[in-house]
């Protein structure tokens, strides 16, 4: 019976671990951007995340991303919002970014709305396509990207947080059960 419970616990941990892995919005297989004609809001969904902004403010294109793969073209001064598909909390780990015109200048502003309604903000100078890593960007409800020049975004790396919390709870439960077994022995 104990072996059966152990195996069930391992199976549960593995199924929860799937949700805790980071997802990369790569734009390598661009799906159709959905446009709501009533609100003029355009949405793009990939890897459990949704990007939304005004129709015509962004476009997925092949060949403009990292290693000449798919990427997202964002028009200057057009905010684009990233949320988790189910509306849950997530963490932002990194992204690739660069100017559409590598000879130009500009900056990318990234604002993260936390669960307690406070904001995180990063101002990133733009140049050629490169990566940026975020430190401590967790507990986010949404992230807004806006640039002062036409921009390419690629490989947005995010991790859902409910999966991470579930794994931590499962690990804590395992520790409690392990202690209880030792006392009973």
Task: Enumerate the domain spans of the chain.
Answer: 20-177
Q: Would the pLDDT of 13 be above 80?
A: no
Mean pLDDT of the chain: 84
Closest of 13, 79, 31 to residue 5, by C-alpha: 13
Per-residue pLDDT, 30: 72
Place 104 in a pLDDT band, splitting at 50, 70 and 90.
confident
CA distance 97 to 108: 8
- The answer to whether residues 177 and 185 touch, using CB atoms and an 8 Å cutoff, is no
CA distance 147 to 128: 14
Rounded to two decimals, the pTM is 0.77
- Does residue 46 contact residue 26 with C-beta atoms inside 8 Å? yes
Ranking 7-21, 31-45, 113-127, 168-182 by mean pLDDT, the lowest is: 7-21
Q: Which pLDDT score, from 0 to 100, does residue 16 have?
A: 46
Taken in order 123, 125, 126, 129, the sign of the CA dihedral is: negative
Q: What is the CATH number of domain 20-177?
A: 2.60.120.1360
pLDDT at 9 over 60: no
């Amino acid at each position: 019976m104990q072996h059966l419970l152990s195996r069930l616990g391992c199976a549960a941990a593995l199924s929860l671990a799937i949700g805790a892995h980071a997802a990369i919005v790569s734009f390598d297989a661009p799906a159709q951007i959905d446009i709501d004609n009533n609100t003029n809001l355009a949405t793009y969904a990939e890897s459990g995340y949704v990007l939304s902004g005004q129709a015509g403010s962004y476009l997925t294109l092949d060949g403009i991303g990292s290693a000449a793969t798919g990427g997202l073209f964002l028009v200057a001064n057009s905010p684009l919002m990233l949320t988790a598909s189910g509306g849950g909390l997530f963490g932002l780990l990194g992204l690739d970014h660069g100017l559409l015109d590598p000879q130009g200048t500009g900056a990318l502003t990234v604002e993260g709305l936390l669960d307690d309604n406070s904001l995180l903000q990063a101002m990133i100078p733009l140049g050629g396509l490169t990566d940026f890593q975020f430190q401590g960007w967790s507990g986010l409800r949404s992230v807004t990207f806006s640039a002062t020049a036409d921009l390419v975004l690629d490989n947005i790396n995010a991790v859902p947080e409910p999966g991470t919390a579930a794994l931590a709870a499962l690990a804590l439960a395992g520790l409690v059960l392990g202690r209880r077994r030792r006392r009973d022995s």
